[in-house]
Amino acid sequence: MNVVAYLRVSTDEQVQSGLGLEAQRAAVEQEAARRGWSVVWEVDEGVSGKLRNRPALDRALGWLRAGEAQALVVAKMDRLGRSVIQASDVLETARRQKWDLIVLDLGMDLTTPHGKAMAQMLAVFAELEREMISARTKAALGAAKARGTRLGRPRQIDPALLTRIVAMHAAGSSHRCIAAALTAERVPTPTGRARWNPGSIGGYLTSAALDPVEPTLSASEAVA
């Protein structure tokens, strides 16, 4: 089986000493010899696991996406990332693209029932971590709002237009439909562009919810 081995160390000291990389490489080589793997190596040197964009990991995922390798091998789970969410995202990519993930220190191998069960547990903890982050964020935003801190994107939109967008949404129009309607009517965006983006509509609606404007149009007038 062709596999791509991903190695990573975070600090310049580890890069210079080579000890972290040597230990990871030795673990992969031992397992590769035992199981008869053909290995392609991708190495991130001095790259934090907190970063989403890591050149060698991106290349490794490219090999897998192209079908040039059938599995991603790491010596330790924390080489993939410092959070459960990051590791779970790689697992979800593996499931979707139909390649295997093998984590040597955990004995996790998606080619085995035991490995699949561990992956499912990891996904559960990743969802828990997401919910905890969301709860902390909402609590922080609530505290900031209570202190009088203005939240949301700075309002750079004409109040009458913002009121119309709010009314269209209240009448049942989606962000995408509102963006399409304003674009079709050739209403320029606050930055002067011709095309409205659904994400921008969502941002203005969030801003309006956090700091409401006085209505100037009814819902029926907005969609007339």
21 and 119 share a domain?
Answer: yes
164 and 215 share a domain?
Answer: yes
Indicate yes or no: pTM above 0.75.
Answer: no
Quick one: pLDDT at residue 15?
54
In a domain, 149, yes or no: no
Least confident of 35-39, 73-77, 90-94, 148-152: 148-152
The arithmetic mean of pLDDT across residues 1-6, rounded, is 95
In a domain, 54, yes or no: yes
Residue 162 has pLDDT above 60, yes or no: yes
In a domain, 169, yes or no: yes
Quick one: pLDDT at residue 119?
66
Distance CA 141, CA 168 (A): 26
Q: What is the pLDDT of residues 176-212, one digit of tens each?
A: 999 999 999 999 998 888 999 888 898 888 877 655 5
Q: What is the pLDDT of residues 12-43, one digit of tens each?
A: 545 555 558 888 999 999 999 999 999 999 99
23 and 102 share a domain?
Answer: yes
Q: What is the CATH number of the domain that holds 81?
A: 3.40.50.1390
In a domain, 136, yes or no: no
What are the CA-CA distances from residue 85 to residues 53, 67, 114, 152, 213 (Å)? 15, 25, 20, 26, 38
Beta bridge partners of 4: 40, 72
111 and 13 share a domain?
Answer: yes
In a domain, 135, yes or no: no
Quick one: pLDDT at residue 12?
58
Looking at per-residue confidence, does 203 or 11 come out higher? 203
165 and 217 share a domain?
Answer: yes
Phi/psi at 59 (nearest 5 deg)? -65, -40
69 and 166 share a domain?
Answer: no
In a domain, 78, yes or no: yes
Q: Supply the range of the domain harboring residue 192.
A: 159-223
In a domain, 137, yes or no: no
170 and 118 share a domain?
Answer: no
- Enumerate the active-site residues: 10
Average pLDDT over all residues of the chain: 80
Domain boundary among 76, 101, 125: 125
DSSP 88-142: HHHHHHHHHHT-EEEETTTTEETTSHHHHHHHHHHHHHHHHHHHHHHHHHHHHHH
Residue 103 has pLDDT above 80, yes or no: yes
91 and 171 share a domain?
Answer: no
Domain count, the chain: 2
Quick one: pLDDT at residue 223?
44
Residue 110 binned pLDDT confidence (cut-offs 50, 70, 90):
confident
Query: How big is the chain by its Cα radius of gyration, in Å?
Result: 25
90 and 178 share a domain?
Answer: no
119 and 174 share a domain?
Answer: no
74 and 184 share a domain?
Answer: no
The arithmetic mean of pLDDT across residues 146-160, rounded, is 68
Quick one: pLDDT at residue 130?
64
113 and 182 share a domain?
Answer: no
In a domain, 153, yes or no: no
Quick one: pLDDT at residue 158?
87
Return the percent helix, strand and coil in the chain, to nearest 5: 55, 10, 35
Distance CA 58, CA 63 (A): 9
Instruction: Output the CA torsion sign for 28, 29, 31, 35.
Output: positive
Domain boundary among 80, 102, 125: 125
Quick one: pLDDT at residue 131?
74
